[in-house]
Chain A
């Protein structure tokens, strides 16, 4: 049995590593979900086979509750697995991963409940389920059908574990802030709240009331422009005459624009009509990046 939040992460890393996944580190930009990591969004496109797993800190500014809600956080961790093509026994692989973190199927009721996934900002969608363990949603399970408006072929299977939620379930904790972060028998045992409560309070205030709207709006426009500018460069690098399509740098700016949009949304300054407009602007960036990726050697 795992004894702490970090132990669960280790066990998942070990398990998926033993399956043969590339174990990556979190992407170094602010994202709303593990899906945004280029290891998923971009690698889901094209023909090449790919298996990877990684932890991704995810930010959802509107979900901030000043660290006072037992379940909601504006910054949390997802564990993300991407398997392309989706293997025949993907469900069994997933269930085995739950076993390794201590979920015993003799006493727990696992259910795959329809939940189709769609990311309007990424122009992506897939079919799948949310996975329930005794009525608690512990993962999201998706077969990618399209990313950036482009059909996925082969199809990638994506598994997303809500790490805090799973840890609370496995360790029997009701409030996320009470989760043991490291081994409770350590010299200095720390709880999740010891690590993150302060930051939750600070970000909640900033997200909701203080973030500079004008600055963010300016950033959004700049990021959009930069993404397009990168993609409009000639494919041949004049320095060395090689073809270098700068997909990932461009995609970075798409991610940045998406995050700034989320911040603006949590400031409550985006009207519903404008919302649609912002979403479609980010989607256009994602689509351009997807198209560029397909043209590049990896695609």
Chain B
């Protein structure tokens, strides 16, 4: 048994790529070891800015030997073919045997394949890692032709047998040496380390200021800032992405607390937070009482001799100059707002391109405005307010602050609108109409925000469909999938009965419109499947298109999902199946026209009359209920004529000689089918 340490030591790996790299390394090695048949007990990987490490414990010393069979020509093949086969293997014909397979009898040769040593297998997999590692972006350096994410300095590949002996595996690469040591922290303890075994490797790294484990670095950071803040009224604003990024920038995290200068405390907190995050990777600290961001957390990569004084001086100075810039931008914007108002910026949007084949942001706003007028009418929302909101919703794109921090779009517009004293609901819509952006974002719930959110999303989809710029595969440069899922969520979560199909057909040519609706339907399906709605349920309501009104479709699906659990569902399905089966088999044989109503005069049996009358009654009820969107009750009504159906099929023969009577009865069945399908295609349901 032995343990393996494999370290790829390189110049700084970009933080955002580290986590994936450690997962990929693990997967590649797992597959490689499994494929080679080399047993092990545990495998794990680690990553820091400068190293990517794999540790395997309990490795066998070699893979098991095994037998391999090689298939030759078919029995009865020309002698030449058989001779060729034996010659290629350098064996005699007598060592072949015959085995029967599906396709016939073949000659086979069986031979013993020796196992490979762990060393050979590891070297082979390691070389594969170096040549084929799936970095998202990689580079060449110096005069070599190898590719890695940044220059690879050396490889430390050591096999420790029973904790007693150590063997360095030489990968024999021209460009990179295999060494018998690794290094400590690059800046402060960059001396050679010669580990004696796996735990000694971790220990020595730690002594030399390297914490190998991401989670441990994270824990240190969180614990340190919690300790620094324990006496005050402040807390760190949660920012998982930022913390993840920071742990990819340090091997030895040391946490400092800094204070923001008084003169910047009046800046809106979103601006403070983004300035500190984007440029400096500082975490924001907020005072829980005043809700002001007045402090920040810096994570350095070392403990300095002066206790961090220089580091904090430097960082504070940089922040000061950044905030001065931000304040300058903010105050310049405010001057414009005070003088001319936010609405004065709308016309400047003609200078900003939305997309060069679609037009400027002003064109975009004009389209959003038009749509908002339609949608507000459908929703019964004050359309003059929506008009104002639409014309303001993109104005912040031409402010200084958003030019500097594009990720603050919407938020800054709202801050300025509030400053100007614009109607709160309108100002909220400037920020909220972008929502939802991330998977877990809330959707807007205020009416004006909803109208603008829908208008913006529908407009983006329509505009890009018009120029045939649709997402393909993994490519979605204009985030149209996000717009689509956002649109659907806003409709569903606000229970909005809006026929978006109509808006789309009005704006696009038929084929593009159909294609866009299909795209929306696809997103809708994915969304509901994730929410544990079954495939058959979706099919029953979507099989034959009709995705113009997402909320209604959803409502129906949800009602059926509930209804499926009830006893009435069985009754409904019994009433559905028999007439449908008959129709299916008869329609296969003949070309009937069954669409018109059965005629009463042709009924000669009381059961068909009773069924007919019951159907008319149910039909009226159901069509009323559909109008009222009460699908649950409609479903219940569909389960109320199972007795009549039962009696009908027990007492009435459909396949009678008189053709007109037979057709009339089939028309009665068709009436049932039409009624049923007016709610859903129950045939699609698992039952």
Residues of A within 8 A of B (CB): 69-71, 85-88, 91, 105-114, 116, 126-129, 133-136, 143, 145, 153-155, 157, 169, 174, 271-273, 276
Q: A271 contacts which chain B residues (CB < 8 A)?
A: 351, 353
What is the total number of residues of chain B having a CB less than 8 Å from a CB of chain A? 46
Nearest CB on B from A296, distance (A): 21
Given contacts A135-B314, A272-B353, contact A114 B302 (CB under 8 A): no
Nearest CB on B from A1, distance (A): 14
**Are A114 and B15 neighbours in the complex by a CB distance under 8 Å?**
yes
| A155 to B140 Cα, complex, angstroms | 7
Closest to A89 in B: B153
0/1 string, B44-86, CB within 8 A of A gives 1:
0000010000000000000000000000000000000000000
Q: B21 on the interface (CB 8 Å rule)?
A: no
The CB with the most chain B CB atoms within 10 A, among A87, A106, A134, A157, is that of A134
Q: B642 on the interface (CB 8 Å rule)?
A: no
The CB with the most chain B CB atoms within 10 A, among A116, A272, A276, is that of A272
Closest to A68 in B: B328
Contacts A85-B142, A88-B153, A109-B311 supplied; 10 other A-B pairs, CB < 8 Å: A107-B306, A109-B304, A110-B301, A114-B15, A116-B137, A153-B145, A154-B142, A155-B140, A174-B317, A276-B356
Partner of A71, one of B300, B301, B321, B353: B321
**Are A87 and B12 neighbours in the complex by a CB distance under 8 Å?**
no
Partner of A127, one of B150, B309, B313: B150
Given contacts A135-B318, A271-B353, contact A105 B187 (CB under 8 A): yes
**Are B353 and A114 neighbours in the complex by a CB distance under 8 Å?**
no
Q: A107 contacts which chain B residues (CB < 8 A)?
A: 304-306, 309-311
| A85 to B142 Cα, complex, angstroms | 5
| A87 to B151 Cα, complex, angstroms | 10
**Are A85 and B356 neighbours in the complex by a CB distance under 8 Å?**
no
Partner of B143, one of A69, A70, A85, A114: A85
The CB with the most chain B CB atoms within 10 A, among A107, A129, A135, A136, is that of A135
Q: B242 on the interface (CB 8 Å rule)?
A: no
| A91 to B152 Cα, complex, angstroms | 12
| A174 to B313 Cα, complex, angstroms | 12
Q: B141 on the interface (CB 8 Å rule)?
A: yes
Q: B461 on the interface (CB 8 Å rule)?
A: no
Q: B23 on the interface (CB 8 Å rule)?
A: no
Partner of A136, one of B149, B151, B314: B314
| A129 to B10 Cα, complex, angstroms | 14
Given contacts A271-B351, A271-B353, A272-B353, contact A155 B142 (CB under 8 A): yes
Residues of B within 8 A of A (CB): 11-12, 14-16, 49, 137, 139-143, 145, 149-151, 153, 187-188, 249, 280, 298, 300-302, 304-306, 309-311, 313-315, 317-321, 324-325, 328, 351-353, 356
| A70 to B11 Cα, complex, angstroms | 33
**Are B311 and A86 neighbours in the complex by a CB distance under 8 Å?**
no
**Are B304 and A273 neighbours in the complex by a CB distance under 8 Å?**
no
Q: A157 contacts which chain B residues (CB < 8 A)?
A: 141
Given contacts A107-B311, A134-B310, A271-B351, contact A112 B12 (CB under 8 A): yes
| A58 to B143 Cα, complex, angstroms | 30
**Are B151 and A143 neighbours in the complex by a CB distance under 8 Å?**
yes
**Are B352 and A272 neighbours in the complex by a CB distance under 8 Å?**
yes
| A82 to B663 Cα, complex, angstroms | 90
Nearest CB on A from B318, distance (A): 5
- Sort A-B residue pairs by CB-CB distance and give the 3 closest, nearest first: A134-B314, A114-B14, A272-B353
A-B contact pairs, 11 of them (CB 8 A): A69-B328, A86-B141, A88-B153, A109-B304, A126-B139, A127-B150, A128-B150, A134-B314, A134-B318, A135-B315, A157-B141
Given contacts A114-B15, A134-B315, A135-B318, contact A145 B280 (CB under 8 A): no
Nearest CB on A from B86, distance (A): 48
Q: A70 contacts which chain B residues (CB < 8 A)?
A: 321, 324
Nearest CB on A from B34, distance (A): 33
Nearest CB on A from B306, distance (A): 5
Closest to B319 in A: A135
The CB with the most chain B CB atoms within 10 A, among A113, A153, A174, is that of A113
Q: B249 contacts which chain A residues (CB < 8 A)?
A: 111, 113
Q: A135 contacts which chain B residues (CB < 8 A)?
A: 280, 298, 314-315, 318-319
Q: B352 contacts which chain A residues (CB < 8 A)?
A: 272
Nearest CB on A from B51, distance (A): 14
**Are A136 and B310 neighbours in the complex by a CB distance under 8 Å?**
no
| A92 to B243 Cα, complex, angstroms | 28
Closest to B309 in A: A107
Q: A69 contacts which chain B residues (CB < 8 A)?
A: 325, 328
| A110 to B300 Cα, complex, angstroms | 9
Closest to A104 in B: B310
**Are A114 and B16 neighbours in the complex by a CB distance under 8 Å?**
yes
Given contacts A134-B314, A136-B314, A169-B314, contact A154 B143 (CB under 8 A): yes
Q: B15 contacts which chain A residues (CB < 8 A)?
A: 113-114
**Are B187 and A110 neighbours in the complex by a CB distance under 8 Å?**
yes
Q: B305 contacts which chain A residues (CB < 8 A)?
A: 106-107
Nearest CB on B from A281, distance (A): 16
The CB with the most chain A CB atoms within 10 A, among B142, B145, B301, is that of B142
| A136 to B320 Cα, complex, angstroms | 11
Closest to B49 in A: A112
Partner of B140, one of A108, A113, A153: A153
Q: B187 contacts which chain A residues (CB < 8 A)?
A: 105, 110
Nearest CB on B from A145, distance (A): 6
Closest to B139 in A: A127
Closest to A154 in B: B143
Nearest CB on A from B354, distance (A): 9
**Are A112 and B11 neighbours in the complex by a CB distance under 8 Å?**
yes
Given contacts A109-B300, A109-B302, A135-B298, contact A87 B142 (CB under 8 A): yes
Nearest CB on A from B403, distance (A): 11
| A91 to B9 Cα, complex, angstroms | 14
| A157 to B320 Cα, complex, angstroms | 32
Closest to A47 in B: B143
Given contacts A91-B11, A127-B150, A135-B298, contact A71 B140 (CB under 8 A): no
The CB with the most chain B CB atoms within 10 A, among A109, A110, A112, A127, is that of A109
